[in-house]
A and B are shown apart, each in its own frame.
Chain A
Amino acid sequence: MNETTQHTYETATARIEEIIRRLDSGEAGLRETLDLCKEGRELVEFCAAELDAVGQGLEELRLDELVARLEQRPTEGS
């Protein structure tokens, strides 16, 4: 999971395309295929989570509201 958390959406999709190209080539052995499928599934889940993060409905905030909310966070945590 450490690998996927370092990804951005772009790098994740690029890696997925690379994985599918490799799989389409038919050159990968069984072990490599299964490893690539596992990695690919994790990346697809990561991308889906990223899409979900911007799929909850548009939220509008004024800048001062956002700043106020961010300033409250440390006090909530303490």
Chain B
Amino acid sequence: MSEQLRPEGIEGVDFKGPYAVGAYAKFLQGRMRDVARVQVFGEVFNMRRSRGAKVYFELRDGDGALPCSMWRTDFEQLGLAADAVVDGAQIVVAGGPDYYPGSRTSSPSFSFHVTGVRVAGEGDLLAQLDRLRKALHSEGLFEPQKRLHRPVLPRTIGVVTGEGGKARDDVLAGLRRRGWGGRVVWAFAPVQDRHAAPRITQALQDLAAVDEVEVIVVARGGGSLADLFAFCDETLCRTVAMLRLPVTSVGHHTDRTLIDDVAAVSCSTPTHAAESAVPLHCGEARASAARCAGALQRHGRHAVVVRARALAQLSRAPAEHVARHRGRLHQWLREIRAAGRRGCERRRRDIQTRAVVLNRKVGAARGPEAEARRGRLESLTAAIAAHDPQRVVARGYAMVEDRAGEVVTTAAAARAARDVRLRFSDADVDARIQEQ
């Protein structure tokens, strides 16, 4: 920057300058690099092995922290095991402060430039965490939450999470996937700040104070152990252990916190936590309820129908009995008729047989004697006919009968009869006898 453009300094301030910031940044870099190289020990947090030229991490203890960077090539030349320098590991680093002055397009940064590393052992924080875990376990504080009743279908769920975090969306997505459409009560609290434990504790107590809330989910995203240390806070864990409501915590396979041990359920993701808070899949439950309703309907109908059929069967029995007997009677009747027909037929055949025999006998009786008898009969017939009065009348005589039809053969009888009938061959004539 040219001298002509340098602005005036602040009036009344005795400091040197003003200097151009780039020049001062470079000056600062030089002074940093002049600071004596030292060895520093602490616990590794937020280890980042990006693809860039440098490896970044923080070194922390109970009193402070130091951002560190190391050339990737130097780090790899150390030949350390992959899990040797991870979050929580206690290490000793060698190096000194450095300052990257930045530029118009890049931000400046301060870091402790590490040139050497030695792994010292398990971190104090992890050891402290382990001691606290054992203490809570020995006091039986892992158990009370597990014994709480967890409703399968809560209507109201309390959720403690960060207001802007992805965990919030994951919880909602998980609940929707269960087909659950109840009420979610959000109690927002910072979840990635190691000093957030009191806020989370308060949120849990506030949710538990509301009668409507039936279960609580504490949801957080993943992060470094340092960031999640809030969930290892002793007061928070003791509060959760004694809470009246079951708490589902979200742990991760890689960063299990103490709250995961004391909570009723520990899940690996916010989505699973939501599903654990509503164990029932509402869609499946509806289908199951429909199946049960159908089964009950069938059983009820079946019980009635089977018995109704049995009753109908019983009521039909007398009629069937009568029908059976009627059928038997009909059968007997048919048999009797058939037997009658057979008897008639047999007698008819017998009679025919006898007729044939008689005919044969009649035929045998015919012969000369019969002819003679017929001749004699014919002569007798002719003799009788010769004496028939009608033949005399036919010859022109008349026959006199009285009213009674008796033949009048004498004159005295004719007088006595008075009214007579004269029978001629062609017709009869009535006549009256008159004496002159």
Contacts and interface: CB of A to CB of B under 8 A. Distances in A.
Contact of A54 (B187, B282, B296, B303): B282
B300 A62 contact: no
Interface in B290-340: 292-293, 295-297, 299-300, 303-304, 307
| A-B pairs with lowest CB-CB distance, top 7 | A37-B300, A54-B182, A33-B303, A23-B299, A40-B296, A63-B187, A9-B153
A58 B296 contact: no
Please indicate which of the listed interface residues B185, B288, B295, B296 has the most CB atoms of chain A within 10 Å of its own CB.
Answer: B296
Interface string B154-195: 110010000000000000100110011111111110000000
Given A20-B295, A20-B296, A37-B296, A61 B184 contact: yes
B172 A19 contact: no
Contacts of B188: 62
B155 A9 contact: no
A51 B300 contact: no
A60 interface: yes
B280 A63 contact: no
A60 B186 contact: yes
A54 B300 contact: no
B289 interface: yes
Contacts of B184: 58-61
Given A37-B300, A53-B155, A58-B175, 14 more contacts: A9-B152, A9-B280, A20-B292, A23-B295, A23-B299, A40-B296, A47-B285, A48-B289, A54-B154, A54-B282, A55-B286, A56-B181, A60-B183, A62-B187
Contacts of B181: 54-59
7 contacts: A9-B152, A34-B300, A37-B300, A51-B285, A54-B278, A58-B176, A70-B212
A24 to B, nearest CB: 8
Interface in B86-119: none
B160 to A, nearest CB: 9
B93 to A, nearest CB: 44
Contacts of A47: 285, 289
Contacts, number: 108
B146 to A, nearest CB: 17
B151 A10 contact: yes
A63 B296 contact: no
B206 interface: yes
Contact of B299 (A37, A48, A67): A37
Interface in A7-52: 8-10, 13, 16, 19-20, 23-24, 28, 30, 33-34, 36-37, 40-41, 44, 47-48, 50-51
Contact of B182 (A16, A58, A70): A58
Contacts of B185: 61-63, 66
Contact of A59 (B182, B203, B210, B300): B182
A46 B153 CA distance: 13
B210 A66 contact: yes
B183 A59 contact: yes
Contacts of B155: 53-54
